[in-house]
Amino acid sequence: MITPAQLRAARALLGIDQRRLAELASLSVPTIQRMEASDGVIRGNVDSLMKLVAALDEAGLELIGDGAMSDGGGRGVRLKAAPSTGPATPDETDGSA
């Protein structure tokens, strides 16, 4: 699901510390610390992991799992692209149809 390295990278991309991530995910700071100290994939109860992943998603991060489409391969984390609105139609630009 998510590795400690991904979690640290996510915090770095967002420019936040463990305390702020704990607030965003409605978790305690010791829980975030334990997650970051895990070996391999983060250990924790399902509810805590879901809160963490949801908070990162809401903050605009995408978790990249093993085997996902990525130029470099492997796990990672990246900022989500801003949603594209597409080209403007004539009635959106000048009011004509």
The DSSP call for residue 30 is H
The reported pLDDT for the residue numbered 42 is 87
Per residue in 75-96, pLDDT (tens digit) is 566 667 654 444 444 444 445 4
Cα 44 off chain centre by: 17
Per residue in 35-68, pLDDT (tens digit) is 999 988 888 899 999 999 999 999 988 887 665 5
**In this structure, what token pair is assigned to residue 46?**
């399902």
The reported pLDDT for the residue numbered 28 is 97
**In this structure, what token pair is assigned to residue 36?**
């970051």
pTM exceeds 0.75 for this model: no
Rounded Cα–Cα distance for residues 89 and 96 (Å): 10
Rounded Cα–Cα distance for residues 10 and 21 (Å): 10
Handedness of CA 57, 60, 61, 62 (dihedral sign): positive
